[in-house]
Structure 1
């Protein structure tokens, strides 16, 4: 698959996870998100070579393995290449076991130590949000936490790479419990992006480019709110712990989870939306017979 032209400065490598290439105008390019593994990284470097470009920096929008798993392959070819990420996410990229550790709540068992949750480590440097020059490229980094504890969207002129703050409609349908660390922040970040002006092309980490930012934001906000409502409805069936709430929500979606990884990812989503309801005062949490139980207020 070849790089697709988005603007005179921005290229897209589509895939299960998108990678974005931003030219510096003098033969260099910043690589934004390198994909899950070596396969995506190889395609990315081949695409650069075909355009006569050389990488000048790597920018990871957040620390999920599918967005930085290709770093190691690229750094093996270009060992002096700097890697940047939001500060908290940079810590995880340097110490990737933190991702499955957080999901499992303890050192992860072997089943969780796979490329989908445990990418190779790479030496990411923390980078602040705002107007930045990265690898010779001037860009704007927008704080869009929620899907991850920290995450940046990247704006270059009229092009916005929303990373995983927004998803394409097909991705939302495939994963109805859209992953988040903070569901309230996830919604606020989508609203922030929807308020941007002057955006002519929107790229997402999972999905196809679009010119209609407002419609994309609306679709995502509706999906996020549906998850909140499903979690609330699950508690209407009676007080329950996180795992029972997840089972009720999954049952309503006819969702079958046959592996530990998907189950824990979806469990985290439910926990995030429960925390949002707790903050709103619509749900309460109590300890009952040594179990943390949630119920409607």
Structure 2
């Protein structure tokens, strides 16, 4: 059976391209035919599409940069490294450890060695040997000149990537459809998530912004505003759930899901959304809006007295 034609890379600017998908892969052309691959997708299937598209464009992978350690952004590393074992993988601090030891992601979400149901490709990518990326600022990786911008919040650490007038926002910003589909937008630190998004709006000279999930837009300020409204709506939903009566995190999660129209049908969704509620509770605790106590052998959250 003949192989289907490769989906082409889409040009955002000269030497700056991307492969659309459930997660976008960002490609920056460096010296000659060198191509830095930024985020390799969820699995081998996406990685194969990425490699075919890069090859069809006359380019050769010269390095991998993972903006953060969530499985859908580095799950394709292993397939690419099988083809190009000499490539170096770069990632932000802490994120490099999780990419190297992916069991840390479901272990952290579950709080102990995760059951088999949580050891799937959405939470547990194949391991790849990641190393620390350069500090934020102008740098060269895989022969490509880029600017790394710290945008922690969605993950413990994360980098956006700027090349001239093009910004790959990674998961600091989501497209409107992704926000509507996933109203409990994942975050490790909801306060930082909001601050990072707001900081991106202050960038000057950005003509095109590509979110990690969604389509490119020329309206950076508008995209930031949509994301900040969504993040704030989650905080308010968590606060309203607490105001409905003292409750545990799991009880609050059920209330928040009811308010936002979220239906969870598997354990992965529960642990991910539980983490989101926990992040917003921490923000509200630090703002003095809620309090935490132990009652009846349960960790309980209530309105600040």
Shorter-chain TM-score bucket reads over 0.9
Q: Give the Cα–Cα distance (whole angstroms) in 2 for the partners of residues 202 and 228 of structure 1.
A: 26
Compute the TM-score of the two structures, normalised by the length of structure 1. 0.99
Q: Which residue is equivalent to 2:4?
A: none
Q: Give the Cα–Cα distance (whole angstroms) in 2 for the partners of residues 187 and 254 of structure 1.
A: 22
Please say if residues 62 and 151 of structure 1, whose CA atoms lie closer than 8 Å, have aligned partners that are also in contact: yes
CA shift digits 1:246-289 (9 cap, x unpaired) = 00011112321110000110000000000000000111101111
Q: Give the Cα–Cα distance (whole angstroms) in 1 for the partners of residues 65 and 32 of structure 2.
A: 19
Q: Which residue is equivalent to 1:155?
A: 162
Q: Which residue is equivalent to 1:269?
A: 276
Q: Does 1:234 align with 2:234?
A: no
Alignment of 1:1-297 (within 5 A): 1-127=7-133, 128-297=135-304
Q: Give the Cα–Cα distance (whole angstroms) in 2 for the partners of residues 203 and 222 of structure 1.
A: 19
Please say if residues 2 and 43 of structure 1, whose CA atoms lie closer than 8 Å, have aligned partners that are also in contact: no
CA shift digits 1:117-176 (9 cap, x unpaired) = 000000010112221110111111011000000000000000000000000000000000
Aligned length: 297
Q: Report SS of the residue matched to 2:47.
A: helix
Q: Give the Cα–Cα distance (whole angstroms) in 1 for the partners of residues 261 and 182 of structure 2.
A: 12
5+ long unaligned stretches in structure 1: none
Q: Give the Cα–Cα distance (whole angstroms) in 2 for the partners of residues 252 and 52 of structure 1.
A: 50
Q: Give the Cα–Cα distance (whole angstroms) in 1 for the partners of residues 99 and 31 of structure 2.
A: 29
5+ long unaligned stretches in structure 2: 1-6
CA shift digits 1:53-93 (9 cap, x unpaired) = 00110000000000000000000000010100002100000
Q: Give the Cα–Cα distance (whole angstroms) in 1 for the partners of residues 111 and 234 of structure 2.
A: 23
Q: Give the Cα–Cα distance (whole angstroms) in 2 for the partners of residues 248 and 11 of structure 1.
A: 42
Q: Give the Cα–Cα distance (whole angstroms) in 2 for the partners of residues 168 and 258 of structure 1.
A: 24
- Cα RMSD of the aligned pairs, angstroms, is 0.6
Q: Which residue is equivalent to 2:3?
A: none
Q: Report SS of the residue matched to 1:6.
A: strand
